[in-house]
Amino acid sequence: MTMVSGKVTLLSAGPGDLDLLTIRAAKALERADVLLLDDLANAQLATLAPNARVIRVGKRGGCKSTPQAFIQRLMRRYAAKGLHVVRAKGGEALLFGRAGEEIADLRRAGIEVEIVNGISSGFAAAAGLGVSLTHREHCQGVTFVTAHLQDDSEPDWAALAATRTTLAIYMGMSRIAHVCARLAETLAPSTPAAVVQWAGSASERRLLSRLGSLADDVAAAGFGSPAVILIGDAIGAAEGFALDASSASAQDDANAAPRRPLDGYAYAA
């Protein structure tokens, strides 16, 4: 197979703030001729690609999206002209970003593919909460899972719950009540849980709760996508998780300290 002269970089843009980009990502953007900018990536990435033609190729669940086949045609077309195409994806490109399909398609076309790793929103969410996803006193690992498969079926929630790992659930907000109900068939309703919306960005919002009440708390607080759902005993290590409402109210009334997060309490970054 004859290789074309251009190439495609699948670039992990991180969860939001530009200061979470890697140096390697910044260098790739500087060299880009064409920037295909995902809807979940920070739009200001374009300022780091001064010589690039910027094409927005939004893909978000529940919204009008650019077809995947069209995005792949764009990558092949511009790379075939000898250009450096940067496909900027929110979070980590290799995690729930269709990178596998794109890599295979580009290789079939004889196009060089470069992969630049980055920070996934699941890690940014844990950092915002100040917890370790693999705290050895609470679990033996972490499982990253999407709430629905390509054919719109769902994972085996009972099997996932039985692993006793921390569950980092992506793309699950539209069906959070169902997900929690299925997990509660195996896990205790008191299992610590959290939702972090817009993790790693200036708009980040966090909510601490427990599995049995998480869906109701999310609805009451008005949380939505994009957000990561975290479930497992390790989440109970988040600061303020064990406080009860009465002690927090006393703190607030006395103006002794700023309000800290409670079970079912949402707060901003």
> What is the four-CA torsion angle of 157, 39, 74, 81, rounded to 10 degrees?
-130
Quick check: is 171 catalytic?
A: yes
User: Of residues 7, 59, 173, 263, which has the active-site annotation?
Assistant: 59
Q: One of 7, 38, 105, 217 is an active-site residue; which one?
A: 38
Residue of 7, 75, 171, 263 with catalytic role:
171
Enumerate residues 6+ apart whose C-beta is below 8 A from 206. 125, 128, 129, 194, 195, 196, 197, 261, 266, 267, 268, 269
Annotated active-site residue 81? The verdict is no
Q: Rounded to an integer, what distance in angstroms lies between the CA atom of residue 247 and that of residue 244? A: 6
233 in active site: no
Residue 79: exposed, middle, or buried by beta-carbon count in 10 A (0-12, 13-18, 19+)? buried
Distance CA 176, CA 147 (A): 9
* Token output for 265: 């309490």
Catalytic residues: 38, 59, 171
